[in-house]
Amino acid sequence: MKFTKMHGCGNDYIYINGFTEKIPKEDKTELVRRISDRHFGIGGDGAIFINPSQEADFEMEMYNADGSRAEMCGNGIRCVAKYVYDKGLTDKTDISVISCGQIKYLELFLKEGKVDTVRVNMGAPELRPEQIPVTVAEGDFSAVQDGVIDAPILVEGKEYKMTCVSMGNPHAVIFMDDVTNLKIEQIGPYFENHERFPKRTNTEFVKVLDRKTVQMRVWERGTGETLACGTGCCATVVACILNGLTDELVTVKLLGGEIEIEWDREADLVYMTGPATTVFEGEYDVQTGRILS
């Protein structure tokens, strides 16, 4: 099986051409677990299969590192765009990609004939609790009317305030004074598996630096801490604006780089702009687990 390792701001996945590599669906969960392992496999935050589609130009079939299927990945979809253009699967610089029934529209920006950055129309943020999904705690009736915005959540005996947003996948945004020294590996799993999130959640821990800049660390469900999360950046900026903390165009500083997010309130559309990078390519023996080249 041929593969390409790519990343968006350090959020790295193993990309597989579903046009040519025919992996049975029932085998993909275990395969993804093996190839995502950073010690015994190729190493990555998960794997993405790029498939043909009748509804869009391409399909993105994404899996977390633990083999669970994920609905959307902002960094991943930018790398899909770079993959299909750089490898000649399309010559268009405006493409559509579908993932779990959601179609996103992407604008590709080139440098020396290759895709350098990508702007993605990520669609409208979802704030209805049942659609995120997040359960509403007893007595938290204002959250039902306005979305779960600045709502209390008790995690390991400590109360936090969260704002919940879906960008095709669930996010809980937590504002903090210091995220640099946060022991995210200790608290992250408790948020991910909290009883209020029926499908688990991604959790963004955010420090607002000014009206145009925020710092973010992210704990992704099924993977752990990653260097970046595109949908998490989108959810973070939506949460910032809902809480009156930033303007509508914000730079999100991540461990792996920076992503620009804009929420067009009039159109109710979130746009994400960021880089896409190819790391290396190779071939993997599915039967033996050996990297052949």
| Residue positions annotated with a catalytic role | 73, 229
Determine the straight-line distance between the first and last CA of the chain, rounded to whole angstroms: 11
Backbone angles phi and psi of 186, in degrees to 5: -90, -45
How far, in Å, CA of 105 to CA of 114, rounded? 19
Residue 209, C-beta contacts closer than 8 angstroms, at least 6 positions apart: 215, 253
Count other Cβ atoms within 10 Å, centred on residue 66.
Answer: 14
Helix residue ranges per DSSP H, 99-183: 141-146
One-character DSSP codes across 57-97: SEEEEEEETTS-EES--HHHHHHHHHHHHHTTS---SEEEE
